[in-house]
Amino acid sequence: MSGSGSGDGEEFVGWEEKPKPYIFYKDRPEWSDVQPVPQNDGPNPVVCIAYTPKFQDVYDYFRAIVHRNERSSRALKLTEDAAILNPANYTVWAYRRSIINDLKSDLDEELKLSTKMVFEHPKNYQIWFHRMAIIDWLKDPGDELSFIASVLELDSKNYHAWQHRQWLIRKFNLWEGELEFVSSLIDRDIRNNSAWNQRYFVISNFKDINSTDIVESEVEYSLNKIRLTPNNESPWNYLRGILQSQCLYKNTSLRAALDTMVNNNICSPFLEEFRVDIIEEQLEDGIGNKDELLDVAKDILDNLSNTLDTIRVNYWNYRLKKINRQYSNAADVE
């Protein structure tokens, strides 16, 4: 499309539309029937917000609309302006929903607006809630999973996105394929704790977390990731989570895997802490040589205090005292 003015007096100014001059609501003839309502800041206003004239004008008219309980298409547009000016104003969003409900507005259009706003304000609670309400009304997840995936592309740990995703999956039974999605995110960023959490969400709700096969394969999965990044807290937390109802010292393949790491000189505070926990389990159940176990535990805890995890020295010292108090002979306790 090439330029040159058309006959109606409008100038073509390239691909971008010439911005229409903004007209305040108070100057719009189609709104002349409405009396704007100023904000009530009380008799002694403190820490007043310096609203722009444009903001004040839109909200004066929003308050007027609410007072009149008007739910028209012009009111709908007004709520859009108000929401854009302050997306965190929950009253505006709630009122918008009541208008949408009354007018039976196009929900797909609303979803498009929502998409635009999510990308502009990806951590805004009200916008995500509004989106949830629309999808709830639509009773159809549509492309929502891939929408959430695209938000996660921008920020793979966006709490709102993950929360919305869990809601969607539960509501519409979209479990199929989620484990693969989670695995791909972990492959991209092995330290993405949100992805690991989602993995637990899928395994515990969709798979049988009590099945020995599942537990074994998840343990193997975690250990593989741990071998790649031994100082990454996420797979260690996940491993503990998967095994939380189990007795660790009885898990011979796990212990063998950990021993191999130790023999390969893997230096990780998480590995060492795991080893101490296993020893404490054994001590509690009276398994193995108490003195030998205590010696190993003390060495590990000293190592953690002095070298591997010095910021938590107070905690490691406490663990050391506790284990001594509980299991040492009286003469050995400091």
Partner 1 sequence: DHSHLAATYSALMILLTLGDDLTRVDRDAILHTISELQLPSGCIQPTLNGSESTDMRFIYCACAICYCLDSWPIDKDSLCTFISRSASYEGAFGQTPGGEAHSGSTYCAIASLYLMDRLLWLPNTDRLKRWLLARQRSGFQGRPNKDVDTCYSFWIGASLSMLDSLDFVNKSANRGYLMTTQDNVIGGFGKDYDITPDPLHTMYGICSLSLMEEAGLEPLFPPLAISYRAYKYLCQLHTKYTHNV
Active site residue 54: no
Indicate which single residue of 18, 90, 153, 307 sits in contact with partner 1 (rule: CB under 8 A).
Answer: 90
* Nearer CB in complex with partner 1: 126/268: 126
Q: Which of 58, 85, 133, 271 binds partner 1 (CB under 8 A)?
A: 133
Contact 126, 90 (CB under 8 A): yes
3-state secondary structure of 286: coil
Applying CB under 8 A, the span of 2-10, 78-86, 290-298, 313-321 interacting with partner 1 comes to: 313-321
Rounded least distance, CB 300 to partner 1, Å = 15
- Give yes or no for residue 93 binding partner 1 (CB under 8 A): yes
* 66 contacts 35 by C-beta, under 8 angstroms: no
Nearest of 159, 164, 157, 241 to residue 200 by alpha carbon: 241
Give the single-character DSSP code of 16: S
Cβ-contact 118, 127 below 8 angstroms:
yes
97 near partner 1, judged by CB under 8 A: yes
Window of 69-77, 103-111, 139-147, 199-207 that interacts with partner 1 by CB under 8 A? 199-207
**Min dist. Cβ of residue 276 to partner 1 (A):** 11
The answer to the question of residue 275 lying near partner 1 (CB under 8 A) is no
Catalytic residue among 77, 116, 123, 171: 123
Helix (H/G/I), strand (E/B), else coil: 246:
coil
The phi and psi torsions of 15 (rounded to 5 degrees) equal: -70, -30
Is 56 a binding residue for partner 1 by CB under 8 A? The answer is no
Cβ-proximal residues to 156 (8 Å cutoff; 6+ apart), any chain = 185, 188, 189, 192, 194, 195
DSSP per residue, 175-233:
-TTHHHHHHHHHHH-TT-HHHHHHHHHHHHHTS-TT-HHHHHHHHHHHHHHHHH-TT-H
**Could you say which of 31, 137, 172, 200 contacts partner 1 (CB under 8 A)?**
200
Q: Is 208 in the site for partner 1 (CB under 8 A)?
A: no
Closest separation between CB of residue 34 and partner 1, Å? Answer: 20
CA distances from 223 to 87, 171, 192, 206, 242 (A): 44, 32, 16, 22, 12
Stretch of residues binding partner 1 (CB under 8 A), selected from 248-256, 292-300, 308-316, 323-331: 308-316
Site stretch for partner 1 (CB under 8 A), options 73-81, 112-120, 241-249, 287-295:
241-249
Known catalytic residues are 123
Contact positions vs partner 1 (CB under 8 A) = 89-91, 93-94, 97, 125-126, 128-129, 132-133, 157, 159, 162-163, 166-167, 170, 191-194, 197, 200-201, 204-205, 232-234, 237-238, 240-242, 244, 311-315, 318
